Amino acid sequence: ADLERKRVLFLEIGLAVALAVVWIMFEWSNDPGKVDEIKFAMDQELEEDVVITRQDIPPPPPPPPPPPKQQVADVIEVTTEKLDVKDEIQVDAEADEEEEVEVQEIEEEEEVIEETKVFVRVEKMPVFPGGIKALLKYLSKNINYPQVAADNGVQGKVYLKFVVEKDGRVGDVVVQRSPDKLLEKEAVRVVKTLPKFTPGMQRGKPVRVWYQVPVTFRLQ
């Protein structure tokens, strides 16, 4: 019986020793130094910055500016009669000024001519020195297209009228319709510089007469 108890004791001791050996070998295979070494290597890789660079390509040079538009002050109509906008009076600048124009006489009652009255139609209308062609030439030569209006593409027709005084001077200038203040201002400026007309006549006396000039500003 004593021998049997000793055999069981030795068996338990051997089993404990075997388990201890297995545990030691397992711990050795999972060496923390190796784990730390691998972790350290991974940390080194992750801490390395990834730099993305972009080479800024300079923008292409701007295209050259378009050539400036030719600025033309085109006077296409001149009339001494009251203008109906719906039925404008066209004047042919190439017409022969010596060509006789048939004028229908209108019988009018005797009237008292007032000194300050401005007529729309009289027996003899005011005449610009050299005629209509000379007037067209003068306006076209002296009117300058306003630069700001040209830069903004502003164009159109300025309708204005002015008084030819009894001595032939240009009197009051009135703008009837205009697409732009700059065009209007330039047209008025040049009209005020017109030389003296031959004044209009009514009943053999010089009178004040309205004279109308539509001026067209056009960009080409």
Domain of residue 12 covers: 2-46
Residues 90 and 128 in one domain: yes
209 Cβ contact list (under 8 Å, min separation 6): 80, 118, 119, 120, 122, 125, 126, 163, 164, 199, 200
Residues 33 and 122 in one domain: no
pLDDT tier for residue 171 given thresholds of 50, 70 and 90: very high
Residues 75 and 174 in one domain: yes
Task: Choose between 81 and 185: higher pLDDT.
Answer: 185
Task: Choose between 18 and 176: higher pLDDT.
Answer: 176
Residues 85 and 31 in one domain: no
| Other CB atoms within 10 Å distance of the CB of residue 26 | 9
Q: What is the pLDDT of residue 185?
A: 95
Task: Tell me whether residue 19 is in a domain.
Answer: yes
Residues 16 and 77 in one domain: no
Q: What is the pLDDT of residue 153?
A: 93
Average pLDDT of the chain to the nearest whole number: 74
- For residue 81, pLDDT over 80 is answered with no
Rounded to 5°, angle at Cα 143 from 191 and 186: 65
Residues 91 and 17 in one domain: no
Task: Tell me whether residue 65 is in a domain.
Answer: no
Residues 150 and 201 in one domain: yes
The residues that bridge with 207 in the sheet, in sequence order, are: 200
Least confident stretch, 48-52, 73-77, 177-181: 48-52
pTM above 0.75, yes or no: no
Least confident stretch, 15-19, 21-25, 123-127: 21-25
Cα dihedral sign, 194-197-202-206: positive
Instruction: Indicate the number of domains in the chain.
Output: 2
Residues 158 and 202 in one domain: yes
**CATH number of the domain within which 131 lies:** 3.30.2420.10
Residues 126 and 204 in one domain: yes
pLDDT tier for residue 77 given thresholds of 50, 70 and 90: very low
